[in-house]
Structure 1
Amino acid sequence: MIRISVIIGVCLCCFIHFSKAQNSDDRYQMPLKDVLGILEERYNIRIKYDENQVEGKWLRYAAWRFRTDVDETLRNVLAPLDLKVNKEGEGKYKLKEYEYYRWEPQDGWDYLDELASQYHDKHSWEQRKQQIRPDLYKALKLSPMPPMPQSVPLVTKKRKFKNYTVENFALEIMPGLYVNGSIYRPLKLKGKVPLMLSPDGHWAGHRFRKDAQIRCAMTAQMGAVAVSYDLFGWGESTLQFDPKDHRRSLALTVQTLGAIRILDWMLQDKTIDTQRVGICGGSGGGSQTVLMTALDDRITISIPVVSLSSYFYGGCPCESGMPIHASASGTNNVELAAMAAPRPQLVISDGKDWTAHMPQHDFPYLQKIYGYYGKPEYVENVHLPEDGHDFGYSKRKPVYDFMTKHFGLNTKGIKNPAGDYDESGCVIEEEKALYAFGPNGENLPSNAIQGYENLEKLFED
């Protein structure tokens, strides 16, 4: 009786709103903004939102979604519109887009356990990998792999610093589609040297920011080549595409193809040791690190930083915009990270983002998979419970240590007896100094495509 009276009361309350716009086909629909106003009044709550979040949105059968519990009602009302609320205090809520990529920790752990029930030893795990990998390529629209353009990469003049050099590049990865970046090399090469790919994350300043330049410069000073490159629709990619295109599905495909092409190109360099090839990125770059390592056995060590979690799939289409997580009837990022085994892997996590629970469940899972190969010690976790979501020195230090350990790098003169690194020899260049197409894009090739619609045509062809 109580539920019936609630529904009747709500319907009477809403009747005047419905009657203004009602016709035989609208199924009791009303503007979302009006529904939120009724919710605030009925439940004595406050819902914060921006006008652009509610403008033009309508909800069918709005009143029939109301229940006695306010949180249940909010879920019923907002879910059909891919919206949700975050609770900010007693009776206070903030409207947000529904985060399809974020689960509750226990849900992520339960799903990872369900995935793990499909294998119990090296043989069954290898069979699982053989199911996942081809599906990843298909999900990315990279099966078959598009032909590699035969153009010569654009490479700028080297800039020499105390212990390393930097040169910028633009590499054509499909007809008229370019990926841009910078290559940091040791000033004096002694024999073959390791290679580290450094995909960018979603922090302001892109690959031009201070911490990104420092990490690559330090890698070069220790004796390895580091390649830092743009996210799709960021950096110099904005000469071809609108920055908004970064949040469209093909961003994931273009970034992955760009990394594969860079690896193809760099491994042709006779100074690169093909047995020592690594990848390290933070946040969205960490997601790219995991995916590339799962896809390509040429990568021999991987270091995902503040990114890996069984209950977080990546908050940007460049991480989860293509159906990679539907591969082999469903997977998640931690299972993809396990595909690195038995190659050395360092997972860096912190206490203030979705990696906060890494030591509790996800890392023991990774150790179990590495144990199938008799090498559980080849996967490591540095957990920083007081840290937040960044790529500060506390994260860079274990990266340097891990590279040194597995690549045999030289830290003489930059690491003191206490184990700390001196980063003062790194020169932070102005952003435009790291451009391959020139300060004003004047060197953009004449065949460069423009606009997302032309990118879609490439993949349609």
Structure 2
Amino acid sequence: MKKISSLIVLFVVAVYQLFAQFPNSDNNFRRPLKEVLKDIETQYQVKLRISAKDVEGKVLDYADWRFRPGLEETLKNVLAPFDLVHLPDGAPDKFKIEGYRYHLRTVPEAREILDHLAGKYSDKDSWEVRRSALKSCLPEAVRLSPLPQSPGAKPILTPKRKMDGYTVQNIALEVLPGVYVCGSVYQPAKIKGKIPVVLCPNGHFGEGRYNKDIQARCAGLARMGAVAVSYDLFAWGESALQFEPEAHRKSLANTMQVLNSIRLLDYLLSLDYADPDRVGITGGSGGGSHSILMAALDDRIDVSVPAVMMSAIHYGGCPCESGNPIHLCEGGTNNVELAGLFAPKPQLIISDGGDWTANVPELEFPYLERIYKFYGADDLVENVHFPKEGHDYGPSKRAAMYCFMAKHLRLDQSKVFSGDGQLDESTIIIESADQLKTFGANGEKLPANALIGFDQLEEVFQKAFL
């Protein structure tokens, strides 16, 4: 009996050793993902930057069967089962491993998508069919169809501050019961007759709408003769008095930012000196994607200048930009096609060499220009590209925007350019964050009915549609 037991033990050990060396179908050739990635580094002579949380405890089925002659396909085969991707990491032989980023495409993928979209229409008539379908889908995609009823409350306004050639006045507008959007309204010091209106949505730049570049942009437009408004991103700035910062990365943030823009435009166009036939919008980064979306949604907008955002390789990584299924409309779309919905109205695309708009002149802009040519309006769409600049809305980009807005909104660009044609914003005052707040430095003037917390907003939002 002991001899039989010993034989059984020896047999089990032998089988275990055999399986350890030659995995069979029962364990699916499984190997720890961490080990597989180390093999890839060795075999392909590359360096992979890996976060422990992304690979710890993960085991890959049929691991060695996923290897191919090329690195690119091997990495895709190995990472895809775990919703991981590889991205360039500063050198040709370096990559970082991260979670799947739904909003990003490679340049070849972007080109393929644009070619696919372009194949859906070949002339104005076929484009109009596509355009109509997309415009019908977007309001539902952002969850604003039908538009909820406005509370109808008067805006809360601070006293005007007089500057050189313009004034600044802070505003809080109730967009849903107990929900406020705050911003600052910049107007010409002297108003004669009807003047243009320009929305200036903020992007994810440091300091939010208190950022010196957005202040300069709005003040410059006011000096030129427009009334311009900058306003907080949802759960940023004074909106953070009501909603926790994490709420900014909820899909409802996208909805609220659209609603904020609509309500502010409603207010500005109610002013007796506002010209409803001269309405512009311009923003950078997240404000650029918001400009594209608003220009596609709101037919009151006449001129659009999205900066450092129109791209086929980046759809906007924040849920406040792409958390709603706007890019899934009609079988899939992107920010380039959405910008095309604005045709044939005047549109300036500002791009640079230091971010995801680096390929705009060769990749995205020709696609957009083709749509404008359907209307014989390719002279109304322009691209200004700054190959040596990065992701900002700095002076050179503002100068390009000023010229375009002056041309199409009939503004006086001499108010921001010197006699020799150089940008001159020396008369513009950059204020402190506290000076730009409507509810006081510490939120002490927040209205008594103001909601506190994202859960309360969700309840109010649901009731708005009952």
Q: Report the TM-score when normalising by structure 2.
A: 0.87
Question: What is the CA–CA distance in structure 2 between the aligned matches of 1:14 and 1:184, rounded to whole Å?
Answer: 73
- How far residue 374 of structure 1 moved from its aligned partner, in angstroms, is 2.0
**Which residue identity does 2:79 align to in structure 1?**
L
Residues 29-40 of structure 1: pairs in structure 2 closer than 5 A: 35-37=33-35, 39-40=37-38
Q: Deviations over 1:358-415 (max 9, x none)?
A: 1213222222222222221001111111111111111010101011111121233542
Q: Does the aligned pair in 1 maintain the 2:224–2:415 contact within 8 Å?
A: no
Which of 321, 324, 330 aligns to 2:326? It is: 324
Q: 1:426 to 1:54 in 2, by over 3 A?
A: farther
Match of 1:3 in 2: none
For residue 267 of structure 1, give the secondary structure of its aligned residue in structure 2: helix
Name the SS for the 2:350 alignment partner. strand
The answer to which of 394-403 and 382-391 deviates more is 382-391
Q: 2 CA distance for matches of 1:14 and 1:217? A: 72
More deviation, 187-196/402-411: 402-411
Displacement, 1:121? 2.7
**Mean Cα deviation higher: 433-442 or 240-249:** 240-249
- SS of the equivalent of 2:170 reads strand
Query: AA paired with 1:124?
Result: S
Instruction: Report the counterpart of residue 84 of structure 2 in structure 1.
Output: 83
Equivalent in the alignment of 2:165: 163
Instruction: Give distance in 2, aligned partners of 1:280 and 1:305.
Output: 7
Where does residue 4 of structure 1 map in the other structure? none
Name the SS for the 2:339 alignment partner. helix
Unmatched segments (≥5 aa) in structure 1: 1-7, 16-23
- After TM superposition, give the deviation of residue 455 of structure 1 in Å: 2.4
Q: Could you tell me whether the CA contact under 8 Å between 1:153 and 1:170 is conserved in 2?
A: yes
Aligned to 1:67: 67
Give the distance between the partners of 2:436 and 2:21, measured in 1 at CA: 61
Structure 2 letter corresponding to 1:84:
V
The whole-number CA distance in structure 2 between the counterparts of 1:365 and 1:384 is 19
- 1:62 and 1:77 in contact (8 A); partners too: no
CA distance in 1 between partners of 2:28 and 2:248 (Å)? 37
Go from structure 1 to structure 2 and tell me whether the alpha carbon gap of 1:250 and 1:81 turns closer, same or farther (over 3 Å shift): farther
2:406 and 2:126 map into 1 onto residues whose CA distance is 33
Query: Given residue 36 of structure 1, which amino acid in structure 2 is its aligned partner?
Result: K
Aligned AA (2:329) = S
Tell me the residue number matched to 1:199: 201
Output the CA distance in 2 between the equivalents of 1:182 and 1:406: 24
For 2:105 and 2:21, the matched residues in 1 are separated by 35
User: How far 1:186 moved relative to its partner?
Assistant: 0.6
Structure 2 vs 1, CA of residues 240 and 62 (structure 1 numbering), >3 Å: closer, same or farther?
A: farther
Rounded Cα–Cα distance in structure 1 between residues aligned with 2:367 and 2:40:
47
- The equivalent residue for 2:156 is 154
Per the alignment, do residues 91 and 334 of structure 1 end up closer, same or farther by CA in structure 2, a change over 3 Å counting?
Answer: closer
SS of 2:270's equivalent? coil
Identity %: 48
1:292 lines up with 2:294 in the alignment = yes
The answer for the alignment partner of 1:418 in structure 2 is: 420
Q: In the superposition, relative to structure 1, how do residues 95 and 111 fare at CA in structure 2: closer, same or farther (>3 Å)? A: closer
Question: How far apart in 2 are the matches of 1:238 and 1:51?
Answer: 33
Q: For 1:129-166, what per-residue CA distance to the aligned partner results, in whole angstroms no more than 9, with x for missing partners? A: 21111211111111111111122221111111121111
Letter in 1 for 2:87: N
- Correspondence 1:395 to 2:393: no
Correspondence for 1:438: 440
Residue number in structure 2 paired with 1:240? 242
- Highest CA radius of gyration, 1 or 2? 2
Matched AA of 1:76: N
Are 2:36 and 2:63, in contact at CA under 8 Å, matched by a contact in 1? no
Matched residue count = 441
TM-score normalized with structure 1 length: 0.88
Other structure's SS at 1:231 match: coil
For 1:59 and 1:316, locate their aligned partners in 2 and report how far apart those are by CA, in whole Å.
30
Q: Give the drift of 1:309.
A: 1.3
- Further displaced range: 188-197 or 369-378: 369-378
Task: Give a deviation string over 1:155-200, Cα, whole Å, max 9, x none.
Answer: 1111111211111111111122211111001111111111110011
1:190 aligns with 2:192: yes
The separation in 2 between residues aligned to 1:94 and 1:142, in whole angstroms, is 38
SS in 2 for 1:214: helix
CA contact (8 A) 2:403 2:413 kept: no
Q: 2:359 aligns with which of 357, 371, 374?
A: 357
**Counterpart of 1:253 in structure 2: which amino acid?**
T
Change in Cα spacing, 1:241 to 1:79, as seen in structure 2 (3 Å) is: farther
- 1:100 aligns with 102
Superposition deviation, residue 68 in structure 1: 5.4
The superposition leaves residues 191-226 of structure 1 with CA deviations (integer Å, 9 ceiling, x where unpaired) of 111111001111111111111111111111111111
Q: Distance in 2 between matches of 1:237 and 1:167?
A: 17
Instruction: Give the aligned partner of residue 219 of structure 2.
Output: 217
Asked if 2 retains the 8 angstrom alpha-carbon contact of 1:29 and 1:58, the reply is no
2:311–2:336 Cα contact (<8 Å) kept: yes
Query: Closer, same or farther in 2 for the Cα pair 1:117/1:178, shift >3 Å?
Result: same
Deviates more, 1:60-69 or 1:264-273: 60-69
Aligned partner of residue 412 in structure 1, secondary structure: helix
| 1:198/1:227 contact within 8 Å kept | yes
Kept in 2: contact 1:200–1:206 (CA 8 A): yes
Structure-2 change in CA distance of 1:410 and 1:87 (3 Å)? closer
Distance across 1 between alignment mates of 2:183 and 2:21: 59
- The corresponding residue for 2:282 is 280
Output one character per residue of 1:89-121: Cα deviation in whole Å (capped at 9) or x when no partner. 476442323222111223222222222222233
